[in-house]
Structure 1
């Protein structure tokens, strides 16, 4: 018997990956047509999909694998080849390419979707409608959309993978230290009867602000580690890269318009250690595997939970003895928690709120109409595909004197704390204001409740 080289080099599936494959198969066998699998960033979704594709092609079934970024295509092809997927029966391509060639593609029995939280986009729907008889299995770390719309329109069932903390505890993801500006007074939350923030901390949390000196904090916290920096636009990425080089660090700037060869060389130099810092504008996000990254620096505030998880966890790919470092200069943790904060994933639409919570930063974000990437609204063109978009001006101020410190996992979000209370337990006008903000209630609700509680002078 001749054993192929690609079968020698591949690693066996982990137990939780096998469980996801089994659960997806069982769900389809129960009559669900389309199934969504959630599994954290860095948990090995590509090899899990490769196992499903191999099983399908070994039975003579055609498989269509769709991705939304060209950087991922070659990565997936290499993995599928190593895994023994019959590439004669498996087509791998970008969603835009597949959409333009629908009439030339042989009808698949199975469609696999990478980063499946994009599945509601029109291009994806066109593919699903064209091959309506095919089953769809989508994979994503974050089954949420910025709009709050759920994915139940496409998927019939949701399968949940392991929690991030479990993956850390079992050495499948690297442990991390998280550093940011402390906008939440943990001591007050523990001691205060209201558990409220100070007004100053709430005010600070609502500013478009970069806290702390980027270079000095890097020297202090993560000096000389392999680092990826996320900025809010191309101009900022160029400026930050220049600052790192001026400080004596080997840094390169890359973005969606950087030619492919230059980007490939930048990543190769990063992996070899020739370059210590890669500064980018929303380039190294979804699906890009960079196991050599030790540190992430976030200079880009976001309202997207998906974007936060993808970017913050880019340094958490496991290596023996590795300790990941996340330096959050824009206090994104105040909106989403830490990377290992549990989330309740669902296919349903998110409950609509009229206003953001106390800690929200109103950062202009939109989706590119062409490739559906989440991008800064002020961009002149999409940093991923180059598509021209409407310009929305915004400015992020810098407070270099702000103190960056380690954020412990026992901190508590203001909104999470206050909404757990009953209205009868709200004893002050400030508590009513905080509750109203967290719930999206109007000023009139605050006045009515305050009047009933006798908190307004002259009111009975």
Structure 2
């Protein structure tokens, strides 16, 4: 529009597009455009240029094929498809790499982040059909008293009185966050994709004008949202999506004359999985070798090797760390010149503390021990493997 190009927005109200309209450019959401083309209401043969925003999304894959005679330009900050079976190189022949985030920070275009990480046990999280962690397992973990206490602690330590945006994976967890912070007297509101347009506008206006406001959100505000006064981003979730990781943190990176830095609080081991948000990435290598990059990220998710049942999380809601790495503890004991049996002693102590922290009486604590039977069996077998002196039948 600013360049003087005559353009038209294709909304749900626009049913057909005629050549006689005289427009040089059309703008549309992917689903609207796909429906009009499939219904035969829009002809694509004469289109010479197709520009795709957020080009990493898989939803554009089939749509691009409709434009047989068009040159295609895809724009994205993270040229890595979330679906390893549909790499971007299948639709794009060449990658033109822009400035790295670190360079944009040095040039004064983006605020500099301070990263605060907490080592979170994610063993109870389950992966869905699209590759990311399920809402149900995330809600169960992040709505637990232990995680809510940790969230409050992290906020009080690193974001007190700062305008804060909290990202969650599920509505239930986000509502729990709102409830917890409200009881403590902090200014907080909740926003998700089901919030009405009027209420959403009211919440975003409140966020803009309220000093120290906290907004907890779900499946929204990762794109198309710009509030430069955000001072802290809290990732109250884990994700396997590199793009989502960058989008969430990016909401706090806008620089203002009075805002040269912002804080990141990571409660999902996301930094360990993807690296620092402002670290350099060889995007050309990622574009050409997406399988290798995906495998490298997957190898960092070591906690999936021993999946704990989600039921255990519900039985021990006041405990953050449910697992105990027998092999790592055994190696640490050897390095310290200690006897191997100290590993089982520490394992027993951890289980005893779990039972004590999640009960109000000795009887309740003793009853909880039965919930640990399978985990105890697994740990003993791991210990046996470390010793290397037990029979093959036993270790199996």
Q: What TM-score, normalized by structure 1, do the two folds share?
A: 0.54
Measured in 2, the distance between the counterparts of 1:162 and 1:281 equals 30
Tell me the residue number matched to 2:78: 142
1:110 aligns with 2:45: no
Tell me the residue number matched to 1:94: 29
Tell me the residue number matched to 1:176: 113
Question: 1:171–1:393: structure 2 CA closer, same or farther, 3 Å change rule?
Answer: farther
Deviation at 1:88, TM superposition (A): 4.1
Question: 1:361–1:340: structure 2 CA closer, same or farther, 3 Å change rule?
Answer: farther
Question: 1:270–1:157: structure 2 CA closer, same or farther, 3 Å change rule?
Answer: same
Gaps of 5+ in 1: 1-5, 8-53, 71-86, 184-203, 364-391, 403-454
Tell me the residue number matched to 1:333: 271
Q: Is the contact made by 2:161 and 2:211 (CA closer than 8 Å) also made in structure 1?
A: no
Q: What aligned pairs does 1:20-419 form with structure 2 within 5 A after superposition? A: 54=3, 58=5, 88-102=23-37, 103-105=40-42, 107=44, 108-118=47-57, 120-121=58-59, 124-149=60-85, 150-181=87-118, 204=121, 208=125, 213-273=150-210, 276-322=213-259, 323-345=261-283, 346-348=286-288, 349-351=290-292, 353=295, 356-360=298-302, 362=304
Deviation at 1:298, TM superposition (A): 0.9
Higher helix share: 2
Measured in 2, the distance between the counterparts of 1:100 and 1:401 equals 47
Aligned residues: 281
Q: RMSD between aligned alpha carbons?
A: 3.6
Q: Residue 341 of structure 1 aligns to a residue in which SS? A: coil
Q: Is the contact made by 1:271 and 1:292 (CA closer than 8 Å) also made in structure 2?
A: yes
Q: Is the contact made by 1:205 and 1:360 (CA closer than 8 Å) also made in structure 2?
A: no
Q: Deviations over 1:145-186 (max 9, x none)?
A: 233342111111101011111111111000111111258xxx
Measured in 2, the distance between the counterparts of 1:306 and 1:92 equals 23
Q: Deviations over 1:411-435 (max 9, x none)?
A: xxxxxxxxxxxxxxxxxxxxxxxxx
Deviation at 1:297, TM superposition (A): 0.8
- Runs of 4+ aligned residues of structure 1 deviating over 6 Å after TM superposition are 62-66, 392-402
Measured in 1, the distance between the counterparts of 2:279 and 2:50 equals 31
Question: 1:302–1:395: structure 2 CA closer, same or farther, 3 Å change rule?
Answer: farther
Measured in 2, the distance between the counterparts of 1:308 and 1:237 equals 18
Tell me the residue number matched to 1:447: none
Gaps of 5+ in 2: 13-21, 126-140, 322-386, 390-396
Measured in 1, the distance between the counterparts of 2:223 and 2:105 equals 20
Q: Is the contact made by 1:231 and 1:279 (CA closer than 8 Å) also made in structure 2?
A: yes
Q: Residue 102 of structure 2 aligns to a residue in which SS? A: helix
Q: Deviations over 1:277-314 (max 9, x none)?
A: 11111211134222221111111101111111111221
